[in-house]
Amino acid sequence: MAQISSYPYDAVVQDQDAWIGTDSTTRATKQFTASAVATYLNVKGKVSIGAQLPYKFIVTPNSSGGTFALPSGGNAIPFSDITSIKISASDLSAASTVEFLQYMVSSDIMIGQMNAPSIFGHFKVSTYTVDPNDANFYTLVLNHIGSNGSLVNDYYYNIFNFTLASASDKTYVHDQAIPSETWTITHNLGKFPSVSVVDTQKTVYWGNVEYINSNQLKVTFSAGFAGQAFLN
């Protein structure tokens, strides 16, 4: 066998390119393809990407670390039908994900199939609670926002925080067609927005803003008029 240094370099690595190595269990000499090594690095989380959690979907809940499943089991379930999952307290790299997922409550996450970016589920996390019968697993209650595709048994998925650019700064425009001293505005922004008011001639007016809740407010003026309110 010639010396390794005598072989030419291959600068274009392809999936089926292979090299010789040693199996850690049997100590046997084997070939390892570039594709197999890339899959290993992905599913085991060896290439670190912050706040991206690698998991394997399986049909039986509470089976092993690094997995998630539907509470009642099942396979090939459309993302749009999912309302909750049972998920291990650690991902495929054996790193704890509890603190991160606790932090994600009330925020959006994406569950995306590895190597298939068009297969995904976009959800808002409602609650994240420990399984009373097994502290190694948690129930993640989800509200579906958008998706394409399904969860498939033995496929690998990344779970990560996700927010649509269009949803990063929600705004609302209220049209007050009837002149009034009090404008009651239902905006459904889920927050307490700032308010700017103009009349029909685009003259700015100032009023007393009262926040009824995070989705509704009332603006009171000294005299009635029509116009618009801009909330952001």
Where do we find the tokens 């790193």? 95
Are both 140 and 161 inside the same structural domain?
Answer: yes
- Choosing from 126, 148, 165, the residue where a domain stops is 165
CB 224 within 8 A of CB 218: no
- One-letter amino acid of 157: Y
Q: Which of 26-35, 101-110, 130-139 has the lowest mean pLDDT?
A: 26-35
In a domain, 19, yes or no: no
Q: Which of 27-36, 112-121, 127-136, 160-169 has the lowest mean pLDDT?
A: 160-169
What is the tally of helices (H) and strands (E) in the chain? 2, 16
Would the pLDDT of 133 be above 80? yes
Would the pLDDT of 42 be above 70? no
Could you tell me the residue range of the domain that residue 118 belongs to?
A: 42-165
pTM of the full predicted structure?
0.60
Distance CA 47, CA 113 (A): 17
- The number of domains in the chain is 2
Are both 181 and 160 inside the same structural domain?
Answer: no
Query: Which is more confidently placed, 50 or 204?
Result: 204
Are both 64 and 153 inside the same structural domain?
Answer: yes
* pLDDT score of 105: 93
At 221, give phi and psi (nearest 5°).
-120, 165
What is the percent of the chain with per-residue pLDDT over 90, rounded to a whole number?
Answer: 57
**Averaged confidence pLDDT in the chain:** 87
CA distances from 12 to 17, 41, 82, 111, 219 (A): 10, 19, 42, 32, 65
Would the pLDDT of 50 be above 50? no
* pLDDT score of 169: 65
Q: Band the pLDDT of 27: cuts 50, 70, 90.
A: confident
Are both 123 and 179 inside the same structural domain?
Answer: no
In a domain, 140, yes or no: yes
- Choosing from 165, 185, 219, the residue where a domain stops is 165
- Choosing from 110, 141, 165, the residue where a domain stops is 165
Q: CATH number of the domain that 101 lies in?
A: 2.40.30
At 40, give phi and psi (nearest 5°).
-60, -45
Query: Which is more confidently placed, 165 or 14?
Result: 14
CB 104 within 8 A of CB 87: no
Who contacts 99 (Cβ-Cβ below 8 Å, separation ≥6)?
none
* pLDDT score of 179: 95
In three-state secondary structure terms, 69 is strand
pLDDT tens digits for range 67-81: 999 999 989 999 999
* pLDDT score of 93: 84
Distance CA 87, CA 128 (A): 10
Are both 82 and 130 inside the same structural domain?
Answer: yes
CB 158 within 8 A of CB 192: no
Are both 55 and 127 inside the same structural domain?
Answer: yes
Between the two ends of the chain, the Cα-to-Cα distance in Å is 71
Which tokens in the block code for residue 84? 């909750």
Distance CA 5, CA 17 (A): 18
Q: Band the pLDDT of 2: cuts 50, 70, 90.
A: low
Q: Band the pLDDT of 28: cuts 50, 70, 90.
A: confident
Q: Band the pLDDT of 51: cuts 50, 70, 90.
A: low
Distance CA 178, CA 213 (A): 24
**Which has the closest alpha carbon to 187: 161, 215, 214, 160?**
215
In a domain, 10, yes or no: no
User: Of 52-56, 162-166, 188-192, which has the strongest mean pLDDT?
Assistant: 52-56
